[in-house]
Amino acid sequence: MGGIRGLLRLCALAFVLFVGLASISLPGALGWSKEGHMMTCRIAQNLLGPEAANAVENLLPQNLNGDLSALCVWPDQIRHWYRYRWTSPLHFIDTPDNACTFDYSRDCVKDACVDGAIQNFTSQLLHYRDGTADRRYNLTEALLFLSHFMGDIHQPMHVGFTSDKGGNTVDLRWFRHKSNLHHVWDREIILTALKDFHDNDMVLLQEAIERNFSDGIWFDDVTSWKECDDLLSCPDKYATESINIACKWGYKGVKEGLTLADDYFDSRMPIVMKRIAQGGVRLAMYLNRIFGGPEEGFCITNIRKKNPTNLHKTWKTLTVIFLCYCN
Ligand SMILES: *[C@@H]1O[C@H](CO)[C@@H](O)[C@H](O)[C@H]1NC(C)=O
Ligand SMILES: *[C@@H]1O[C@H](CO)[C@@H](O)[C@H](O)[C@H]1NC(C)=O
Ligand SMILES: *[C@@H]1O[C@H](CO)[C@@H](O)[C@H](O)[C@H]1NC(C)=O
Ligand SMILES: [Zn+2]
């Protein structure tokens, strides 16, 4: 255990904050799946301790320079390929209509749901540290799947009702254009928030979310978000939260053919942002514990913000470094 490691044991935290001003030139609009997943993964990556950061960098293809978010949507891109057809049911959970509960044995038959998938890939990755990984498993893929599915399980409508496919068949209007209830939660709310409040800049939105848990409205909640006695059973809790939100906020008052606009947006937007924050914080907690051992992942302020390698962005960075101690 070297000096740096010892410092970490004392919970000395390097809190490095890059305030990045991005000038952005993205071609066309990005889908939520891309934006929601990228923000989740960037939030997580900024919270990784040195061991997890190293493992992630080792597992990712070289040309990404350790930028996890670049591949966080990969599982959505390959789900229809023949070779990966088995992954298709792993993005969601169907629960009985109007039950508003999640029951693993009832809703995740043969582990084929997003909760089972998180457990599966967590178990595979837990062998990384001791070098006993099963050669049948590709740990690069396991990392990408875990990172993606941690996002999906936090999207409330990914734990929705069976007959409407998590709101996918509930056609309606979002302001003036056609959409459906699932898509409103996947993408529309985020795109509207980006447009109305963040200059259509995903980095600005991600930073606003990070500010709200590093010293804003969610600061006091982060510790409870990260509470987890057993990495393999905590996804049950996340799925239960999602179906509860789906019932209370997703489906509530919504009928086929309705137009959803300001009222729905204003009341649901904060929930979407909180779920993205929780997904990111919890993904970091998983990776810190998987790669760094069980006692890692409990310090609140460990923001190590890397300069993301993104061809489309020019970053100007201002770096503020300070050390703080917790406990
Ligand atoms: C777990 O992952 C392996 C591939 O890494 C896959 O073959 C298996 O079907 C998965 N099982 C579940 C329940 O997701
Ligand atoms: C693991 O999966 C990645 C992504 O599919 C692939 O590029 C890589 O070649 C695989 N590694 C091995 C050893 O099969
Ligand atoms: C951050 O918190 C403020 C309230 O303090 C809220 O108005 C704002 O919408 C939040 N932003 C995000 C992205 O969650
Ligand atoms: Zn997905």
Residue 56's CATH number: 1.10.575.10
What's this model's pTM, rounded to 2 decimal places? Answer: 0.83
- pLDDT score at 133: 76
The answer to whether position 208 is within a domain reads yes
Work out which ligand 3 atom sits closest to the CA atom of 205.
13
Task: Assign 27 a pLDDT band (cuts: 50, 70, 90).
Answer: very low
Per-residue pLDDT at 295? 60
pLDDT of residue 18: 28
245 is a domain residue? yes
Distance 143 CA to ligand 2 centre (A): 11
Mutational test site, ligand 2, from 87, 134, 141, max ligand atoms within 8 Å of CB: 141
Alpha-carbon gap, residue 92 to 112, rounded angstroms: 9
Mean pLDDT of 11-29: 29
Q: How many CA atoms lie within 13 A of 209 on its CB side?
A: 31
Contact assessment for residue 118 and residue 150, using Cβ atoms and an 8 Å cutoff: yes
- Residue 327 inside a domain? The answer is no
Q: Which amino acid is at 313?
A: K
- Hey, whose CA ends up nearest to atom 4 of ligand 2? 141
Distance 210 CA to ligand 3 centre (A): 10
Q: Would you say residue 265 lies in a domain?
A: yes
Closest atom of ligand 3 to CA, residue 208: 13
Q: How many CB atoms lie within 10 A of CB 100?
A: 15
- Higher local confidence (pLDDT), 249 or 15: 249
Pocket of ligand 1 from Cβ distances under 6 Å: 86, 90, 111-112, 116-117, 120, 137
3-state secondary structure the chain: CCHHHHHHHCCEEEEEEEEEEEEECCCCCCCHHHHHHHHHHHHHHCCCCHHHHHHHHHHCCHHHCCCHHHHCCHHHHHCCCHHHHHHHHHHCEEECCCCCCCCHHHHCHHHCCHHHHHHHHHHHHCCCCCCCCCCCCCHHHHHHHHHHHHHHHHCHHHEEECCCCCCCCCEEEECCEEEEHHHHHHHHHHHHHHHHHCCCCHHHHHHHHHHHHHCCCCHHHHHHHHCCCCCCCHHHHHHHHHHHHHHHHHHCCCCCCCEECHHHHHHHHHHHHHHHHHHHHHHHHHHHHHHHCCCCCCCCCCCECCCCCCCCEEEEEEEEEEEEECC
Bigger pLDDT: 306 vs 16: 306
CA of 121 to the centre of ligand 2 (A): 15
Among protein residues, the one with the nearest Cα to ligand 3's atom 7 is: 270
Digit-coded pLDDT (tens) for 290-313: 999 766 544 444 443 333 333 323
Give the Cα separation of 35 and 21 in Å (integer).
18
DSSP lists the bridge partners of residue 159 as: 93
Å from CA of 37 to ligand 4 middle: 8
- Domain-located, residue 304: yes
Task: Say if ligand 2 is within 6 A of residue 141 CB.
Answer: yes
In a domain, 137, yes or no: yes
Q: Which atom of ligand 3 is nearest to the CA of 198?
A: 13
Query: How far does residue 260's CA lie from ligand 4's centre (Å)?
Result: 24
Question: Residue 225: inside a domain, yes or no?
Answer: yes
Q: For residue 168, report the distance from its CA to the centre of ligand 4, in Å.
A: 14
Q: Which residue has the higher pLDDT, 263 or 315?
A: 263
Residues of the domain holding 41: 2-322
Percentage of residues of the chain with pLDDT beyond 90: 75
Among protein residues, the one whose CA lies closest to atom 13 of ligand 2: 138
| In a domain? residue 223 | yes
Q: Which residue has the tokens 């890059």?
A: 18
Domain count, the chain: 1
* pLDDT reported for residue 22: 28
Atom of ligand 1 nearest to the CA of 137: 5
Q: How many A from CA of 147 to the centre of ligand 3?
A: 24
pLDDT number for residue 12 = 31
